[in-house]
Amino acid sequence: MKNKTTLQEIANSTSGWLMGNGPEADVVFSCRIRLARNLKGFVFPPYAQPFVLKQTAEKILNSVRKSNYFRNARVINISELSPVEREFFLEKHLISLEFIKSEDYRFLVVEKREIISLMINEEDHFRLQSIFSGLQLQEAWQLINAVDDELERNLDYAFSPKWGYLTACPTNTGTGMRASCMLHLPGLVATQRINGVLRGISQLGLVARGLYGEGTTPQGDFFQISNQVTLGIKEEEIVDNVGKISRQAVEEEKKAREILFRKNKTELKDNIGRAYGLLANAYLISFEEAMDLLSKVRLGFSLNLLPKVKNIRVLNELLFLIAPAQIQIKEGKELSSFSRNELRAKIIREKLRE
């Protein structure tokens, strides 16, 4: 029952990082830092027996309870959730695709603004993340570094002077850090320059993923850029590199938007206006279509072509409110595809009136 109550509380609240109030927020949807940490003397979760997972969960939760950053945080037992309920947290960017398949003694800890969260017994003993609106990667890093230091006062990390933080997957060994920025790049997609930019990102040692991270494809012209290498490089260098490449991608996107506006202004206004009209008046709409139309409307907002839309926050919130699991959790039951499409259209119509 506690899990169900907490689910509804989270479903009815707005994530602090959806406000759209950070630098370059019309292009940089969010920035995130995630740290992988393990406890010394304990088997990594993929190979651990249930009693070991229980011990590590208890140790980590005990440290969390002593943390000022997690004061009044919600603790969710992922093992007790249904597939739809787990999908809900994936859509909220609070857990990973890997965590959906988790079994016993898996927990999510999330503070009320949802800026700081922690997965217990995912691939590693815990994954700690901070997520900010706009291009605030340095701010996200400073916060998560402070949280990590506080947790470490009560935990003995698996650390090697030679290799750094030890992790279940060798690609995370070293700093254990993944720094990423979620970018909205409709201009580059529309001008067919996106593949060149993504190739350039790859050549610089970064990787571009979909809206929900590793193992997902881009939707609504959103691309997540993150580092691949964690070994032999300092945390500050990772943050600086991802931030630098993200800023370059922002500049390329702005140039693409200028080209669209200058060369095809009437056509652009027509496409954006039609997208808004469909969203504001549809009574049935799929998730995929809604994401495509919202991408166009979000572009229109950034170019000052939609005076009816007063706040980017509304558009940011809609990107999550319309996701399949979000709709079902809000309704308190599983729904058919038709019912989801109907409710999604209603949510969009009502939200756009705000």
Per residue in 129-156, pLDDT (tens digit) is 999 999 999 999 999 999 999 999 999 9
| Strand ranges for the chain from DSSP E | 28-37, 74-77, 107-110, 116-120, 126-133, 159-160, 164-165, 177-184, 206-209, 222-227
Three-state SS for 336? Answer: coil
Q: What is the pLDDT of residues 25-76, one digit of tens each?
A: 999 999 999 999 999 999 999 999 999 999 999 999 999 999 999 998 999 9
Identify the structural domains of the chain with CATH numbers, from first to last.
2-258 (3.30.590.10), 264-352 (no CATH)
Closest C-alpha among 12, 75, 53 to residue 320 = 12
Residue 1 clears pLDDT 60, i.e. is over it: no
For residue 184, give the nearest of 214, 216, 213, 210 by alpha carbon. 210
Question: Which tokens belong to 52?
Answer: 């070991």
Of all residues in the chain, what percent carry a pLDDT higher than 70? 96
CA distance 94 to 81: 14
> What's the CA angle centered on 11, arms 5 and 16, to 5 degrees?
120
Q: What are 322-347's pLDDT values in tens digits?
A: 999 999 998 989 999 999 999 999 99
| Rounded distance between C-alpha atoms, residue 113 and residue 4, angstroms | 19
Is the Cα dihedral 321, 325, 329, 334 positive or negative?
A: positive
* Contact residues for 251 (Cβ-Cβ < 8 A; gap 6+): none
Q: How far apart are CA 73 and CA 59, in angstroms?
A: 17
Mean pLDDT of 94-99: 89
